[in-house]
Structure formats: structure tokens, C-alpha cells
Chains A and B, each alone.
Chain A
């Protein structure tokens, strides 16, 4: 089973700042089958990034993903108030399709 470790656990930033979230895998993720989801309180997750770096339909270009192998990054270039949420990474290349524990992005 591939274990995903997200860091930091909580990130405190202000609107307009840049956010960098990390997702590290215990073994190489097949074909960069790595996704990022955003989850707001009381809501289901929403797909942001797939294939490590492709934005899902309707996702603003301030969200970008990068990485390969075992190290992946989600970057939000300029934080908007609606971006403060929990972010989850998931690998979908090998069953079981594991998730990281999440990073909470909070307003400083």
C-alpha cells in the first residue's frame, strides 16, 4: 500500500499570499496518477488537479500542480478568501487508492 504524507498539517497564510502544499509518497506513484482535492466544511471534496499537473474543468489557473515519482506539490499562486479549506492528495495508480491525511489552509 502506498502511504501519502502531506505537509504541513496546517498552513496559516493571508489572502494574496502564495501557498505551497506537499504530498510525499512511500513509493513511486505510477504514471503520475496523483490528484488533489479541495474540501470545505460540510461539503464533499472537489477535484482540483489530476495527473499531478492537469487542472480539472473550471478550476482557476492560480491552482497548479507539479511533481513526479514520490514528491508532489500543489501551489496556489495568490490566495483568495474562498481558497481557505482542507486539501487532500490521492494516488490512483495502485489499489488501494490511498489519500494523504490532509493539509488545512487557514487564514492568518
Chain B
């Protein structure tokens, strides 16, 4: 069965960076894009970008351009999201998700990132 297993919760200081991993199993990793979506406490979902595991190509939401980097390691079927220059506004649950085309169909369990000053 399709599974996306994310790394554990992180606590960071303002100005620091965070890198979250997402390990895929149960399907061909290079056959589906991996998206990253975040959800601040009590808020809605916010799309951040995708990475094409086959080519390494990426597409980022404009508001995260220059601060987010999506990468992958096909040898271990794992995608990564790195977010730099963290502020308290970046405190959120971060999800990775698989897409068919651009339709997200399976989600990871989420990684809570807490930014403190």
C-alpha cells in the first residue's frame, strides 16, 4: 500500500532553517510528483510546491520562492523540504503528498515545525 512517512517534529529558533524528509513506499517513487502543503494551527491548507522525483524539476508557490528548496534522493525514495529564515509565522504542520498529474491523492502523516523566538 502507498505510504509516505515523514520525519519527526522539529523546534527551531527564528532565523534558522529546517529540513523535513518524506520516505515513500508501496509505489514507484519516480512515477509521481511530491507536493508539500502546510497548515498553521487552526488554519487552512497552503500549497508550497512540488518536486518531480524523476527529473528533479520543481515548482514553488511565489510566496515561498527563495526560501524553500524541494529535493529528492531516488536511491532511498525520499523527498525533502528545506525552509530557511524561519519566523514564528512558519509554525505549522508540514505535509508531503503524492500526486497523479497534479491531483494529490495520498498524504504523509505530517511534521510539526515550531519556531520560537
Q: Is the CB of A92 within 8 A of B103?
A: yes
Chain B residue nearest to A57 (CB atoms) is B105
Interface residues on A, range: 20 to 34
Q: Are A102 and B102 in contact (CB under 8 A)?
A: no
The 8 Å CB contact of B105, one of A47, A98, A100, A101, is A47
The interface size bin for chain B is 20 to 34
Could you give, for residues 14-55 of chain B, a 1 whenever the CB lies within 8 Å of some chain A CB and a 0 otherwise?
A: 000000000000000000000101000001111100000000
Secondary structure at chain A's binding surface: helix, strand, loop or mixed? loop
What residue of chain B has the Cβ atom nearest to residue A92's Cβ? B102
Contacts of A101 in B (CB 8 A): 43-44
A102 touches B105 (CB 8 A): no
Q: Does B109 contact A (CB under 8 A)?
A: yes
Is B110 in contact with A35, judged by CB distance below 8 angstroms? no
- Complex interface: chain A residues within 8 A of B59 (CB): 95
A residues within 8 Å of B by Cβ? 1, 33, 35, 37, 44-47, 50, 56, 88, 90, 92-93, 95-102
What 3 A-B pairs are tightest by C-beta distance, nearest first?
A44-B107, A99-B45, A92-B102
